[in-house]
Amino acid sequence: MLSLQNIQTYYGNIQALKDVSIEVEEGEIVALIGANGAGKTTTLMSICGITPPRFGEVYLDGDPIHELSPEGIVKKGVVQVPEGRRIFPDMTVLENLEMGAFLRTNKRQIQQDLNYVMTLFPILEKRQNQLGGTLSGGEQQMLAISRALMARPRVLLLDEPSLGLAPLIIKQIFEIIRQINKENNTTIFLVEQNANQALKLADRGYVMENGRITLVDSAESLLANDEVRRAYLGI
């Protein structure tokens, strides 16, 4: 469904991604794991057109999307929950959710999705008139995921959804991600440093080092892989 073919992304003269190829099938959960600075976030930003690749292609259902603008890519249904949640701090929870549906026009469907995310995360309904910046980290993560869902994504990209959260909240968030994937058949591409959690959730995984993909396998095999266990699971 989502296919990255030999993408190379640069910041000025510095090459951040070297020949990265990733395939994500429809309905799959795929995890990308790796250390700090490996290029995981850059991979997502390249897919979303924020740092477009200098070479290589990104396809969605066979259509090239690497030359589209960021809003064109969102319109195609590829939506990101960025690292650090990036809630609009001076907008209310409700306004943040509305911004997620910025490109949509069908009011009835938007309302429907609003109800849906509020059943996923009932706390958001309670907080709907509160400013986004006043939420706790866990609530912000829930809001960030909900905001992305408001765009009715076909592919949901998640960047470090567990970052800075308490273990209990992480468990809850990952549970919801699985639920979103099951209920709506939303394809999920997940970037994580928390390799253990990510691989338990995912069907398949990619390992990234210094801007290159070094390993691809099923999540189970990666969890059992000695190299991965030593480097990323601390076992």
Partner 1 sequence: MDIEYFLELFFSGLTRGSIYALIALGYTMVYGIIQLINFAHGEIYMIGAFVALIVAGVCTIYGLSGFAILVLAAAIAIIYAAAYGYTLEKIAYRPLRGSPRLSPLISAIGMSIFLQNYVLLAQTPDFLPFPRLIPSFAFMDPVAHIIGSPELVILITTLITMVLLTLLIKKSRVGKAMRATQQDLSMARLVGINVDRVISLTFVIGSVLAAIGGVLVASYIGQVNFYIGFLAGVKAFTAAVLGGIGSIPGAVLGGLIIGWSESFAAGYFSSDYEDVLTFVLLVVILIVRPAGILGKVRKQKV
Residues in contact with partner 1 by the rule CB under 8 A: 48, 50, 69-71, 74-75, 79-80, 82, 86, 88-91, 95, 98-100, 102-103, 147, 151
Q: Is residue 149 within 8 Å of residue 113, measured between CB atoms?
A: yes
Torsion angle defined by CA atoms of residues 150, 156, 157 and 161, in that order, rounded to the nearest 10 degrees: 70
Minimal distance, residue 229 CB to partner 1, in Å: 32
Q: Closest distance between partner 1 and the C-beta of residue 227, in Å? A: 32
The 3-state DSSP composition of the chain as helix, strand, coil percent (nearest 5) reads: 40, 30, 30
Measured CA to CA in angstroms, residue 22 lies from 31, 89, 138, 191, 233 at distances of 11, 34, 29, 13, 22
Q: Indicate the residue among 70 and 137 with the shorter CB distance to partner 1.
A: 70
Give me the count of residues in the chain. Answer: 235
For partner 1, which is the closer residue by CB, 29 or 48? Answer: 48
Supply the minimum distance, in Å, between the C-beta of residue 46 and partner 1: 13
Dihedral sign computed on CA atoms, order 125, 127, 131, 137: negative
Q: Which two tokens stand for residue 129?
A: 């008139």
In the complex, least distance from residue 235 CB atom to partner 1, rounded to whole angstroms: 32
Tokens of 40: 């995981």
51 with 8: CB under 8 angstroms?
A: no
Report the residue number, 96 or 225, with the smaller CB distance to partner 1.
96
- Using the minimum distance from each CB to partner 1, give the nearer residue, 110 or 215: 110
Q: Shortest distance, CB of residue 124 to partner 1, whole angstroms?
A: 17
CB nearer to partner 1: give 71 or 183.
71
